Amino acid sequence: MMLLTRLGLKEWPEADARRYLGDVDRVYLTYACDELLRRQSASGGSVSALLIHLLETGQVDGALVLTLEVEGGRVRPKFVIARDRQQVMSAQGSKYVTVHFAAHAMPLIRAFEGRLAVVALPCDAKLLHRARQRETELNEKIRLVITLVCGHNSEPELTDAVVRKIGGDHGPLKCYHYRSGHWRGQLTAAFSDGTVIRKPFNTFSVYRNLYFFTQRKCHHCHDHFGYYCDISAGDIWSLKMKHDPIKHTALLARTAAGIRAIEAAVAEQALAARPGTEREILDGQSRTAPFHYNVTVRKRVGKVFGDRFKDPVHARVRLPEYLVALMALGNQKLSRTKLGRKLILATPKPILKAYLYFFKILELI
């Protein structure tokens, strides 16, 4: 771990920081003042606190959020427009599963009558941004866009496989949460016989972080922090935050609307905040942000697997990055074959963890 800590102390030249983060006006390190919001969240509850403040102060009439439903024992995402505190709270927590924003979220947004806040992944915020440029009515309707920092997303088959592994003979799944609690957090699954199973989040994330079952489109994306929004929100994975009794959320304000929303929530004690730095944000994302941005290396390595990539970044590529890309793309390909899935899910967890540590070291070099 000390090796990983030392390797993680990177230098962040201003040009690199600007490429990775995009245009950022102010950085805030925040958490919800409401302890209940924090307890049920994956991070500091700040996004929920912001949305609730916007709704309860009449700044918006609704907030597009993502919830989880269990259908036939399988976890599936569902976009809804929350109108009050309880509906926002029902959407708390991270969701590491494929969504179809254009097909499922955009019709809700267009049909909604009133002012709207939207929470979206970076790729979906970009889609929304383009639609707003074309449609005046849509643009006027949306008052705030919050993007969630995203390394990549996972196909639903991964969630289904993890549920099967931990569920045993407890019957069909009834309720599921990917992650809540301090630092890495816990996964929670409730089954029809009344059994509630809590596991460390790495029960799921060990597969995710090795890029097994990754959505194909994620390898083509370079937008880690969410450029097309008013506020980017994400975890702060720096070791100095691990021992803070309250988990924080990083908020990157990109527009005047974003700054106003944060400052108003702080002034009315919905949100606690202190100024942060771009260095703190990058230190907390020192592994995933550079690799996510570097589509160039995936374009080059993708030829090995017959994949074609457009390269919008034309980044410099170092030898360790070739190895990381080879592993990430190879793992994703392997998980798309029947035999590969069997091998992955049958691999003992200690071996997977050792493989993941090696992968992380390569990312940090």
Residue pair 143/257 in contact (Cβ under 8 Å)? The answer is yes
Identify the residue whose tokens are 């400052």.
Answer: 263
CATH architecture of 2-151+217-284: 3-Layer(aba) Sandwich (3.40)
> Within 10 Å of residue 171's Cβ, how many Cβ atoms?
13
Under 8 Å CB-to-CB from 174, ≥6 apart: which residues? 70, 190, 191, 192
pLDDT at residue 129 in the model: 98
Q: How far, in whole angstroms, is CA 55 from its chain's centroid?
A: 23
Residue type, 168: G
Contact 120, 148 (CB under 8 A): yes
d(CA 86, CA 92): 10
What φ, ψ does residue 40 adopt, rounded to 5°? -90, 0
End-to-end CA distance of the chain: 14
Q: Hey, where are the domains in the chain? A: 2-151+217-284, 292-364
DSSP H or E segment with residue 138: helix 136-141
Helix/strand/coil for 111:
helix
pLDDT at 9: 60
DSSP reduced 3-state for 56? helix
Q: Which pLDDT does position 42 carry in this prediction?
A: 83
Tell me, what's the pLDDT at 119? 98
List the chain pLDDT tens, one digit each, 365 residues.
344 444 446 789 999 999 999 999 999 999 999 999 998 888 899 999 999 999 999 999 999 999 999 999 999 999 999 999 999 999 999 999 999 999 999 999 999 999 999 999 999 999 999 999 999 999 999 999 999 999 999 999 999 999 999 998 999 999 999 988 777 789 999 999 999 999 999 999 999 999 999 999 999 999 999 999 999 999 998 777 777 889 999 999 999 999 999 999 999 999 999 999 999 999 999 999 999 999 999 999 999 999 999 999 999 999 999 999 999 999 999 999 999 999 999 999 999 999 999 999 999 98
Rounded to whole angstroms, the Cα distance separating 95 from 122 reads 14
Task: Write down the pLDDT at residue 183.
Answer: 72
